[in-house]
């Protein structure tokens, strides 16, 4: 089943119109017709009602991402309270939920240099090449264990039984917390990610606030324990690391662990799921990858370009300025279209074609660009690569189950499948 291409409705004059509604269900299910229309018409910026300005060409995305003086990553207040990106005032009952939990102050991805540089130096110690390399046998064992649980059935709901199990288990082990908490972490992460990236109504804000406070209370206890009795895990490394005699306080460590949890599960899960669907939709390329596992790394880079798990992130405009000739006001938001940049025809030939042999696939920006390039990118790449190496080693021919849905989670900021039901044969 090929991924549907949603063609953008145009006004009678053939123009795109003044505003873009990213909450339109058809656009959220498949934004690529929109991207194609924007690129075909050389649209550099586009207004997004209730959010800000969309920027989707590769050159413009890179310029904004690297200019932290004009376009700040600090789009929440000093204290992190994920309430969505609509800019609407926070309701009193939602604020009361946040007030009841530990303070969480901006750190890492919610800061700009020089504060970001200090925090990144601290957290980098948890992602050294030695640590990532040491995790590879662990990742492989986790993948085998996951397959052991469904191999005899000949069928699997791929997203919940495999794609999420690997990154969630890896990050739980790396952080040094119990695997028994995996699906609680998943619920917290889903809610907090929505609070960072999506437009939320009142009820959804309450749910997000509750999950955020539960996460904060749990990890505040973990951080206190690791400072009293350090272990060989990421939380100990972050909580106790010093640069020039400075270390993060609890409010900053909580923000850093939030970043690791979010980056360590949702995006990697969606990378694995999106890659599986792309291969099923391109069976000749699936056969090639199965026959030659050395093709897996570039295949994953092409998935990141073509069907990336992060479609956009945000920046706050610090002063009146312009982007590609379009005035943007101080205090407004800019949406960096990572997914649209991956379909930029000025960078990628025939960008709507999936090609595991694409020579410049790695020029995508789905791990970000500039100072905020994803700190966990090496780990995500290792997890996804090993996930497919083990999958192809253990399972024979794989196919979509009869009647399987390939609907995506209804959000415009990230891209992942709601579920993916597969049948397979033993290898």
Chain centroid offset of residue 30 CA: 17
Q: How many residues does the chain have?
A: 427
CA distances from 368 to 148, 296, 341 (A): 35, 21, 11
How many whole angstroms separate alpha carbon 93 and alpha carbon 348?
48
Tens-digit pLDDT string for the chain (427 aa): 343 333 344 443 434 444 567 778 888 899 998 899 899 988 888 888 778 889 999 999 999 999 988 998 876 666 788 888 777 889 999 999 999 999 887 655 566 666 666 666 666 666 677 878 888 999 999 999 999 999 999 999 999 999 999 998 988 887 788 888 888 888 898 898 888 778 889 999 999 999 999 999 999 999 999 999 999 887 888 888 776 677 778 888 888 788 777 766 788 999 999 999 999 999 999 999 999 999 999 999 999 999 999 999 889 899 999 998 899 999 898 999 999 999 999 999 999 999 999 999 999 999 989 877 787 788 899 999 999 999 999 999 999 999 999 999 888 888 999 999 999 997 6
- Determine contact, residues 314/338, Cβ cutoff 8 Å: no
How many whole angstroms separate alpha carbon 5 and alpha carbon 78?
40
The CATH class that applies to domain 19-426 reads mainly alpha
Distance between terminal CA atoms of the chain? Answer: 24
Domain ranges of the chain: 19-426
The label of the residue with tokens 């999936």 reads: 354
Give the SS3 label for residue 17: coil
The label of the residue with tokens 């699936």 reads: 286
DSSP secondary structure, 195-218, as one string: HHHS---HHHHHHHHHHHHHHHHH
Largest CA distance in the chain: 67
Supply φ then ψ for residue 303, to 5 degrees: -65, -45
How many whole angstroms separate alpha carbon 344 and alpha carbon 168?
32
Supply φ then ψ for residue 9, to 5 degrees: -65, 135
Give the SS3 label for residue 398: strand
- Neighbouring-strand partners of residue 47: 19, 53
């Amino acid at each position: 089943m090929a991924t549907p291409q949603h063609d953008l409705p145009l006004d009678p004059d053939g123009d795109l119109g003044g505003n873009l509604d990213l909450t339109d269900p058809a656009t959220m299910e498949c934004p690529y017709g929109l991207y194609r229309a924007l690129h075909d018409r050389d649209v550099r910026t586009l207004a997004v009602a209730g959010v800000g300005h969309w920027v989707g060409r590769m050159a413009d995305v890179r310029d904004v991402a690297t200019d932290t003086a004009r376009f700040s990553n600090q789009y929440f207040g000093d204290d992190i309270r994920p309430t969505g990106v609509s800019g609407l005032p926070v309701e009193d009952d939602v604020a009361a939920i946040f007030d009841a939990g530990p303070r969480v102050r901006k750190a890492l991805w919610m800061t700009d240099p020089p504060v970001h540089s200090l925090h990144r130096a601290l957290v980098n110690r948890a992602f050294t090449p030695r640590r990532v390399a040491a995790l590879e046998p662990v990742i492989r064992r986790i993948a085998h264990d996951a397959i052991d649980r469904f191999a005899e059935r000949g069928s699997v709901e791929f997203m919940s039984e495999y794609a999420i199990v690997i990154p969630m288990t890896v990050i739980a082990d790396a952080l040094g917390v119990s695997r028994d908490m995996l699906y609680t972490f998943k619920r917290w992460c889903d809610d907090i990610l929505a609070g960072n990236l999506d437009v939320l109504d009142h009820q959804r804000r309450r749910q997000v606030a509750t999950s955020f406070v539960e996460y904060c209370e749990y990890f505040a206890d973990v951080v206190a324990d690791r400072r009293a009795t350090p272990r060989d895990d990421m939380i100990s490394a972050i909580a106790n690391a010093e640069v020039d005699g400075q270390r993060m306080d609890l409010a900053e460590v909580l923000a850093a662990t939030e970043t690791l949890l979010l980056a360590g599960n949702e995006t990697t899960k969606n990378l694995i799921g999106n890659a599986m669907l792309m291969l099923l939709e391109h069976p000749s390329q699936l056969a090639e990858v199965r026959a030659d596992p050395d093709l897996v790394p570039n295949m994953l880079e092409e998935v990141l370009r073509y069907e990336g798990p992060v479609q956009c992130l945000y920046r706050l405009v610090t002063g009146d300025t312009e982007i590609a000739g379009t005035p943007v006001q101080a205090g407004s938001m800019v949406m960096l279209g990572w997914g649209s940049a991956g379909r930029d025809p000025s960078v990628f030939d025939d960008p709507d074609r999936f090609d595991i042999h694409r020579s410049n696939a790695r020029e995508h920006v789905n791990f970000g660009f500039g100072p905020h390039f994803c700190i966990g990118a090496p780990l995500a790449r290792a997890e996804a690569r090993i996930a497919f190496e083990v999958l192809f080693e253990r399972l024979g021919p794989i196919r979509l189950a009869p009647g399987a849905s390939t609907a995506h989670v209804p959000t415009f900021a990230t891209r992942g499948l709601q579920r993916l039901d597969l049948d397979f044969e033993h290898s």
